[in-house]
């Protein structure tokens, strides 16, 4: 793609931070994080997650922004612009495929959120824990309904990107996100005052390292950190390409990571205290359905809970849409920039491919037995998808990005971008060492040990 002079620019640093936060904040924070904490055994997982975010992910996030701003292109072109004629553009290619992979299960869960706006408004799930649990079970097993919701969500995402209303949606969502934040705070306050909440808080905050016997917990924390920050597939390269040279990449990255992490942690303060107030609650038992079984119960304990619940799921759906848009945009921008497809053809083709891949995920929570319990694997297809893309594909994308910056473009090259116009950037040498040594070693070790544990 020729770098046209009319490439958009963010309206200053705040515009950039808010747009990137719109991509980062989504189901990853409010659905993915509590689900992974529940699978990973509680507080120890939370600690590992925080280390992954700030020690591994933020340094790589800075790499992606720097590549984007220097390359001035979507991911594939950006690598090529910095190292023309090399094969590094393949890292961008991996991101394109990963975008489709993640979107394929993301729209299924976003579809659940869409349905729960209605269910919460009319109180369809009932108000006893048993009723709510069996309601989710029946709902998730309903094949036509799940296919319908998945396709509607995907079509909305595609229509927003095609219809040129993307800016409008993102502006609306940005205005609504403080409301989502406020609701989360209120829900957390309500949750921690429920009977049984203390057990939930202990589970969430008191690490029990004796449970950390499995390397897969580290892998899950790493994958969740990449997923939540929209990192490792080039989304942030694209966003960085619109950032003006006057803005500091370092402080933007820290703000975005802090915001994203705060929202995820807050979701945990809602789900675990509320969950443990339900007798016999086992956070690892419900899999991807966790929040849909706990939240309606919490809403049922609130005055005006139906309105509250419907508003909450509506805001969550908006947050999911802005993330889904950023997922779809990576493969679409690639086909337009590098293969000169029309926007329409690119959106329709990628959407159709995503829809096909989404079908088995949509049917994997009870609708089709073999997809609900994959033979030999003992997990559902949706969880398999999120494991492949979040836990492997994103960290591998991040690893290659760190290697590219550390050894190919080299730290000095990247620093010339990061320190441009005297931008604020603390500890540049330390950052360089982390990118060259800590990130690659940590990611390689975690992934290799995980693979070893899986095959043995
Ligand atoms: N970060 C988004 C979320 O938490 C998901 C996402 C991942 C978006 C990767 C873009 C790229 O919901």
| CA atoms of 274 and 287, how far apart (whole Å) | 16
pLDDT digits (tens, 9 = 90+) for 392-406: 999 999 999 999 999
| Per-residue pLDDT band at 10 (split at 50, 70, 90) | low
CA-nearest residue, atom 9 of ligand 1: 230
pLDDT of residue 9: 64
The Å distance, Cα 19 to ligand 1 centre, comes to 12
CA-nearest residue, atom 10 of ligand 1: 230
Q: What is the 3-state secondary structure (H, E, C) of the chain?
A: CCCCCCCCCCCHHHHHHHHHHHHHCCHHHHHHHHHHHHHHCCHHHHHHHHHHHHHHHHHHHHHHHHHHHHHCCCHHHHHHHHCCCCCCHHHHHHHHHHHHHHHHHHHHHHHHHHHHHHHHHHCCCCCCHHHHHHHHHHHHCCHHHHHHHHHHHHHHHHHHHHCCCHHHHHHHHHHHHHHHHHHHHHHHHHHHCCCCHHHHHHHHHCCCHHHCCCHHHHHHHHHHHHHHCCCCCCHHHHHHCCCCCCCCHHHHHHHHHHHHHHHHHHHHHHHHHHHHCCCCCCCCCCHHHHHHHHHHHHHHCCCCHHHHHHHHHHHHHHHHHHHHHHHHHHHHHHHHHHHCCCHHHHHHHHHHHHHHHHHHHHCCCCCCHHHHCCCCCCCCHHHHHHHHHHHHHHHHHHHHHHHHHHHHHHHHHHHHHHCHHHCCCCCHHHHHHHHHHHHHHHHHHHHHHHHHHHHC
Nearest Cα residue to 264 out of 30, 22, 49: 30
pLDDT of residue 430: 97
The Å distance, Cα 84 to ligand 1 centre, comes to 29
Q: Residue for token digits 């096909």?
A: 356
Q: Which atom of ligand 1 is nearest to the CA of 32?
A: 4
Q: Which atom of ligand 1 is nearest to the CA of 327?
A: 10
Q: Which atom of ligand 1 is nearest to the CA of 394?
A: 9
Phi, psi of 160 (to 5 degrees): -65, -45
Taking residues 76-101, report their average pLDDT.
94
Count other C-beta atoms under 10 Å from residue 285's C-beta: 13
CA-nearest residue, atom 4 of ligand 1: 28
Structure pTM? 0.95
Taking residues 328-354, report their average pLDDT.
92
* Residue of 180, 230, 238 to test ligand 1 pocket, by largest number of atoms within 8 Å of CB: 230
Pocket flag, ligand 1, residue 267 (CB < 6 Å)? no
CA-nearest residue, atom 2 of ligand 1: 24
Q: Which atom of ligand 1 is nearest to the CA of 326?
A: 10
Pocket flag, ligand 1, residue 327 (CB < 6 Å)? yes
The Å distance, Cα 327 to ligand 1 centre, comes to 7
pLDDT digits (tens, 9 = 90+) for 24-51: 999 999 999 999 999 999 999 999 999 9
pLDDT digits (tens, 9 = 90+) for 227-244: 999 999 999 998 898 888
What domains sit in the chain, N to C, each tagged with a CATH number? 13-455 (1.20.1740)
**Token duo for residue 409:** 């473009």
CA-nearest residue, atom 7 of ligand 1: 230
| CA atoms of 252 and 242, how far apart (whole Å) | 13
The Å distance, Cα 26 to ligand 1 centre, comes to 6
Lowest pLDDT segment from 22-31, 74-83, 310-319, 426-435: 74-83
CA-nearest residue, atom 12 of ligand 1: 26
**Token duo for residue 154:** 């995907």
pLDDT digits (tens, 9 = 90+) for 262-285: 999 999 999 999 999 999 999 999
Q: Where are the alpha helices (DSSP H) in 229-287?
A: 235-240, 249-276
| CA atoms of 415 and 417, how far apart (whole Å) | 5
The Å distance, Cα 120 to ligand 1 centre, comes to 25
Nearest Cα residue to 137 out of 288, 360, 32, 316: 288
Pocket flag, ligand 1, residue 223 (CB < 6 Å)? no
Instruction: Kindly list the distances between the CA atom of residue 217 and the CA atoms of 40, 47, 211, 276, in Å, as whole numbers in the listed order.
Output: 6, 11, 10, 22
Taking residues 62-84, report their average pLDDT.
92
* Residue 283 exposed, middle or buried by CB count within 10 Å (0-12, 13-18, 19+): buried
| Per-residue pLDDT band at 5 (split at 50, 70, 90) | very low
pLDDT digits (tens, 9 = 90+) for 169-224: 777 777 888 999 999 999 999 999 999 999 999 999 999 888 787 888 999 999 99
Percent of the chain whose pLDDT exceeds 70: 97
Lowest pLDDT segment from 9-18, 204-213, 447-456: 9-18
pLDDT of residue 8: 60
| CA atoms of 409 and 366, how far apart (whole Å) | 48
151 conformational bin, left if phi > 0, alpha if psi -120 to 50, beta if neither = alpha
* Residue of 53, 234, 327 to test ligand 1 pocket, by largest number of atoms within 8 Å of CB: 327
């Amino acid at each position: 793609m020729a770098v046209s002079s009319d490439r958009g620019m963010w309206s200053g640093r705040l515009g950039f931070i808010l747009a990137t936060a719109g991509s980062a904040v989504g189901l990853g924070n409010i659905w993915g994080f509590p689900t992974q904490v529940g699978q990973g055994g509680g507080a120890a997982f939370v600690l590992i997650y925080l280390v992954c975010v700030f020690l591994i992910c933020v340094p790589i996030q800075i790499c992606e922004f720097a590549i984007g701003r220097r390359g001035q292109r979507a991911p594939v072109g950006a690598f090529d612009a910095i190292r023309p004629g090399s094969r590094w553009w393949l890292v961008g290619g991996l991101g394109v495929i990963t975008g489709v992979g993640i979107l394929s299960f993301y729209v299924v869960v976003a579809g659940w959120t869409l349905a729960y706006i209605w269910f919460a408004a009319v109180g369809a799930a009932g108000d006893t824990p048993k009723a709510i649990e069996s309601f989710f079970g029946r709902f998730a097993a309903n094949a036509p309904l799940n296919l319908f919701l998945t396709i509607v969500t995907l079509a909305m995402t595609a229509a927003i990107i095609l219809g040129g209303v993307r800016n409008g949606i993102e502006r609306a969502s940005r205005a609504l996100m403080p409301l989502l934040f406020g609701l989360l705070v209120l829900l957390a306050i309500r949750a921690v005052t429920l009977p049984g909440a203390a057990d939930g808080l202990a589970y969430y905050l008191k690490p029990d390292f004796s449970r950390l016997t499995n390397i897969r917990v580290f892998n899950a924390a790493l994958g969740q950190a990449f997923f939540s920050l929209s990192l490792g597939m080039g989304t942030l390269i694209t966003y960085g390409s619109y950032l003006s040279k006057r803005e500091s990449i370092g402080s933007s990255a820290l703000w975005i990571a802090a915001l994203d992490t705060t929202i995820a942690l807050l979701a945990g303060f809602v789900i675990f205290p509320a969950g443990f107030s339900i007798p016999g609650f086992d956070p690892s038992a419900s899999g991807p359905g966790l929040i849909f079984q706990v939240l309606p119960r919490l809403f049922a304990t609130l005055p005006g809970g139906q309105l509250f619940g419907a508003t909450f799921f509506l805001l969550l759906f908006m947050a999911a849409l802005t993330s889904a848009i950023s997922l779809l945009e990576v493969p679409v921008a690639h086909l337009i920039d590098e293969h000169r497809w029309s926007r329409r053809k690119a959106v329709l083709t990628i959407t159709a491919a995503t829809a096909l891949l989404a079908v088995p995920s949509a049917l994997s929570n009870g609708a089709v037995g073999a997809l609900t319990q994959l033979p030999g694997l003992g997990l559902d297809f949706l969880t398999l998808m999120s494991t492949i893309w979040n836990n492997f594909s994103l960290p591998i994308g991040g690893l290659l990005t760190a290697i590219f910056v550390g050894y190919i473009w080299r730290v000095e090259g990247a620093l010339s971008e990061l320190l441009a116009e005297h931008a604020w950037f603390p500890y540049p040498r330390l950052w360089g060492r982390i990118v060259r040594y800590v990130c690659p070693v940590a990611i390689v070790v975690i992934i290799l040990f995980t693979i070893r544990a899986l095959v043995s």
